[in-house]
């Protein structure tokens, strides 16, 4: 059978008789929208169809390895293991309003190598498959079912640069927004990138309602490429041209992620550069506090007073601004670090065993 997230394949595989079509639809609703287990959802089907599906679909290409619940707020970090033993993270964020967001990974490790990010220091980058991307949503909804909740917003902001894995990420977005599968409104999905111009334009063309976030972090080219080595190949002028090509409006603003680092990105002159960079671009700016990571001792987070002063200047210039306070600070402090060492070790073992097999 073609992948289960290829909705056209279902009817072709099982025929078009209305009873089967309806029971398959109920099965998918139970499994993908209501957070029931795969086995539980199979009860919607005739024994023959259920047994075929059981034989043909691997419902969980990821294994839940650890769960860490924040003691200070509603965040939960889920650590999953891939079939070759590597670890990835997803984070559930429960807001007081009852809304729940899920931050998902698109790669193991990341080639962008951002200095402030433990994932970027991992030194490996491997794409997650579409099924692995989607399984993070499936398993999160299964966990939330006990709490009478469902993931409401999905952000591609976990491990990896989503636009370095565009084929699997776009197939996942298609499945997430399909009424016949997960049925998420495209406005509830957000893809965050460090800035891959041609892929940003392509994604915007294909999914004009899906939200985009740009991890900008500095509007000074030297500083930005110091923080994000990948930025050397994409000057700010090219990034700005790209933003001007996107279908943005007051209703669909680009989210600008901006890390507040003392004496690097938080000075008055940095605010003025940011305002100039975003001139005439519908943008919403998120000012993010910095969680220190191993191996980046030269970076220090801004004080709350500096973040507020910076935010005030941006608001004066007419931009909507959110000053973020770390959600799940007690578990987020270890973001990427918890698994960094173990992934390096597993990657080393895999390389050794591949080399032995080749010799």
Site string for ligand SF4, 50-79 (x = CB under 6 A): ------------------------------
Strand order from edge to edge, sheet including 63-69: 63-69, 75-81, 87-94, 100-103, 153-156, 189-193, 211-215, 254-259, 283-288, 321-323
When the beta carbons of 160 and 289 are compared against ligand SF4, the nearer one is 160
For residue 230, what are its two tokens?
A: 């990948």
Which of 222, 321, 310 minimizes the C-alpha distance to 267?
310
Active-site position among 66, 147, 335, 345: 335
335 carries an active-site annotation? yes
Contact region with ligand SF4 (CB under 6 A), list: 107-115, 146-154, 302-310, 313-321: 107-115
Q: Give yes or no for residue 161 binding ligand SF4 (CB under 6 A).
A: yes
Q: Give yes or no for residue 159 binding ligand SF4 (CB under 6 A).
A: yes
Compute the distance between CA of residue 171 and CA of residue 5 in angstroms, rounded to an integer. Answer: 8
- Cβ contacts of residue 259 below 8 Å, gap of 6+? 116, 217, 227, 265, 288, 290
When the beta carbons of 35 and 160 are compared against ligand SF4, the nearer one is 160
CB of 340: closest distance to ligand SF4 in angstroms? 11
- Cβ contacts of residue 223 below 8 Å, gap of 6+? 264, 265
Q: Which residue is nearest to ligand SF4 (CB)?
A: 120
Q: Give yes or no for residue 343 binding ligand SF4 (CB under 6 A).
A: no
Compute the distance between CA of residue 132 and CA of residue 59 in angstroms, rounded to an integer. Answer: 10
When the beta carbons of 32 and 91 are compared against ligand SF4, the nearer one is 91
Interface with ligand SF4 (CB under 6 A), residue from 91, 108, 117, 255? 117
Q: Which residues are catalytic?
A: 89, 335
List contacts with ligand SF4 (CB under 6 A).
Answer: 110, 112-114, 117, 119-120, 159-161, 194
């Amino acid at each position: 059978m073609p992948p289960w997230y290829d909705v056209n394949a279902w009817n072709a595989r099982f025929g078009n008789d209305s009873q089967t079509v309806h029971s398959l639809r109920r099965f998918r609703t139970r499994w993908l929208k209501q957070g029931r287990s795969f086995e539980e959802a199979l009860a919607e089907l005739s024994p023959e169809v259920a047994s075929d599906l059981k034989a043909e679909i691997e419902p969980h290409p990821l294994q839940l390895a650890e769960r860490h619940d924040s003691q200070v707020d509603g965040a939960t970090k889920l650590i999953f293991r891939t079939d070759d033993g590597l670890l990835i993270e997803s984070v559930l964020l429960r807001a007081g309003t009852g809304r729940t967001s899920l931050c998902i990974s698109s790669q193991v490790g990341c080639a962008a190598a951002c200095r402030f990010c433990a994932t970027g220091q991992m030194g490996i980058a491997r794409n997650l498959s579409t099924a692995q991307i989607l399984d993070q949503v499936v398993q999160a909804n299964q966990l939330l079912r006990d709490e009478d909740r469902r993931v409401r917003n999905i952000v591609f902001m976990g491990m990896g640069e989503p636009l370095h894995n565009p084929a699997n990420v776009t197939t996942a977005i298609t499945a997430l927004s399909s009424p016949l599968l997960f049925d998420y409104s495209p406005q509830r999905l957000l893809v965050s990138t460090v800035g891959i111009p041609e892929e940003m334009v392509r994604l915007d063309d294909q999914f004009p309602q899906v939200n985009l976030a740009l991890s900008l972090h500095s509007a000074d080219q030297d500083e930005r490429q110091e923080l994000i080595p990948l930025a050397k190949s994409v000057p700010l002028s090219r990034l700005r041209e790209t933003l001007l090509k996107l279908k943005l409006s007051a209703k669909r603003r680009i989210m600008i992620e901006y890390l507040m680092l003392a004496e690097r990105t938080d000075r008055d002159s940095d605010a003025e550069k940011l305002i100039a960079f975003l001139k005439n671009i519908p943008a919403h700016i998120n000012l993010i506090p910095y969680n220190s990571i191993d191996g980046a001792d030269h970076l220090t987070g801004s004080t709350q007073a500096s973040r507020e002063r910076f935010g005030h200047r941006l608001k004066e210039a007419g931009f909507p601004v959110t000053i973020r306070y770390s959600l799940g600070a007690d578990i987020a402090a270890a973001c990427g670090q918890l698994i960094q060492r173990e992934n390096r070790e597993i990657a080393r073992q895999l390389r050794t065993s591949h080399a032995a097999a080749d010799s």
